[in-house]
Homo-oligomer: A and B are copies of this chain.
Amino acid sequence: MGKIIDITVPFSTDLPLWPGDPAPSMDYMKCMAGGYRCNVTRLETGVHFGTHLDAPCHFIEGKKGVDELDLNVLVGTCTLIEIPDVQKIEVVDLEACNIKKGTERLLIKTYNSHYWSQPAHEFRKDYSAITADAAAWMVDFGIKLIGIDYLSIQLFDDQVSTTHLVLLDAEVIIVEALDLRFAEPGNYRLTCLPMKLVGADGAPVRALIEKE
Contact = CB atoms under 8 A, between A and B. Distances in A.
Interface of A: 4, 6, 8-12, 21-22, 26, 29, 32-33, 37-48, 51, 57-59, 61, 67, 71-72, 75, 161, 164, 191, 193-202, 204, 206, 208
Contacts of A208: 71, 75, 193
Nearest to A18: B40
A33 B57 CA distance: 12
B29 A197 contact: no
> A26, A32, A59, A200: which has the most chain B beta carbons within 10 Å?
A200
A59 to B, nearest CB: 5
A4 B38 CA distance: 34
**Interface secondary structure of A, over-half rule:** mixed
A41 B46 contact: yes
27 contacts: A4-B72, A11-B196, A12-B198, A21-B29, A21-B40, A32-B61, A33-B61, A37-B59, A38-B58, A38-B59, A39-B61, A39-B201, A40-B48, A40-B58, A40-B202, A41-B200, A42-B44, A42-B45, A43-B46, A43-B200, A75-B191, A75-B208, A191-B193, A193-B193, A195-B204, A195-B206, A206-B206
